Amino acid sequence: RHQWAGVVEEYRELLDVGPDTPAVTLGEGGTPLIRAEGLSARVGAEVHVKYEGMNPTASFKDRGMTMAITKAKAAGAKAVICASTGNTSASAAAYATKAGITSAVLVPAGKIAMGKMSQAVAHGATLLEVDGNFDDCLTLCRKLSEAYPVHLVNSVNPDRIEGQKTAAFEIVDALGAAPDIHVLPVGNAGNITAYWKGFREYRELGLAGSVPKMFGFQAAGAAPIVLGHPVDEPETVATAIRIGNPASWEQAEAARDESGGLIDSVTDAEILAAHRLLSSTEGIFVEPGSAASVAGLLKAAEAGLVPAGSLVTVTVTGHGLKDPQWALKSADGGDTTPVRVPVDAVSAARALGLEDA
């Protein structure tokens, strides 16, 4: 049986990397594409969920980071830097460590999930908490990478986009065709740019007969592309996509317009409802930012924008364990504290409703 070798090896001839450059890999990519029966029934289409939380650091960022760090290492870089709402920093820290390179990460103070913070620290990144938001962190990182010998690994680095486009390849490889619609969350807009590039390249290579309409969703409190202007103080429970001035804004609009798709917003309430729906009906645990795509699909279907029977793929970008607090809050504000029992089978049976109390 074939052992998955990571996206650089699996797709090397389709990526901007030479045949002899050693890959810095943790085995990323090859993530499950899961047929979602409940969601399919709900929207009247065939829905498959691309579960990117199954990557080595539990988000899609690993696809871009294997490429970015592979090329940084080949170019002799000794240090990398990135701004992050959490996942990029976790991924950069892990891949830099794997490559024997140091990493520095700048994050908005108090606004990144605990799981992500712990990853960056565990992998030995130098972490700075900035008194500002993600957009401020990215501005700082750009300045630092211009003035000092630190290599920028945010998605403004084309190597990141190059690696992330492999998710689109995998979807077409798995389905044997391009979907009619692809849905994903939008933050800094690198990923929608990458998927659109991947889908187009497969069509150009004759590996897919068509490309999907791209449906991107921002959080309502951080929806600059939807509003048509930057948002100075973005706010949302989906901290991963708490971004007010996306670096790949124009590319996201191009993906939307060239594909005949849309970029819309979903409220925090819709995001948390989709988060719960995925975990409680599909068995898929994601972080809130990832649930924006599913919330958006439900909204689009409601508005009649998903033709009956279409083939729909939805990317959920990060694992639920990154930011687990939301699972412990019940939707109706009720109690989620487990029932405590003594070491006694009758008590346990009663608590489980197997015995009358």
Binding site for ligand F0G (CB under 6 A): 59, 61, 84-88, 155, 185-191, 240-241, 287, 289-290, 317-318
Minimum distance from residue 103 beta carbon to ligand F0G (Å): 13
Q: What whole-number distance in Å separates Cα of residue 240 and Cα of residue 51?
A: 16
Contact 178, 208 (CB under 8 A): yes
Assess contact for 244 and 135: CB atoms under 8 A: yes
Q: Which is nearer to ligand F0G, 190 or 224 (CB)?
A: 190
Q: How far apart are CA 255 and CA 172, in angstroms?
A: 17
Long-range pairs for 271-280 at CB < 8 Å and ≥24 separation? 271/219, 271/236, 271/237, 271/238, 271/295, 272/237, 272/326, 272/331, 273/331, 274/298, 275/320, 275/326, 276/331, 277/38, 277/39, 278/49, 278/316, 279/320, 279/327
46 or 243, CB closer to ligand F0G?
A: 243
Closest CA to 28 of 1, 68, 80, 66: 66
Q: Which residues contact 172 (CB under 8 A, 6 or more apart)?
A: 178, 199, 202, 207, 208
Task: Judge contact between 318 and 60, C-beta under 8 A.
Answer: yes
In the complex, the smallest distance separating the C-beta of residue 312 from ligand F0G, rounded to whole angstroms, is 18
CA distance linking residue 226 with residue 228, whole number of Å: 6
| CB 333 to ligand F0G: min, Å | 26
Residues counted in the chain = 357
User: CA–CA separation, 160 vs 177, rounded Å?
Assistant: 25
> Cα dihedral sign for 257, 259, 261, 266?
negative
Nearer to ligand F0G, 46 or 313 (CB): 313
Give me the residues paired with residue 48 across strands.
35, 313
Pick from 90, 89, 98: which is nearest to 70 by CA?
Answer: 98
Q: What are phi and psi of 354, to 5 degrees?
A: -85, -20
> Any alpha helices (H) in 228-343, and if so which ranges?
249-259, 268-277, 288-302
List the one residue out of 132, 138, 171 whose CA is nearest residue 153.
138
Q: CB 155 → ligand F0G: shortest distance, Å? A: 6
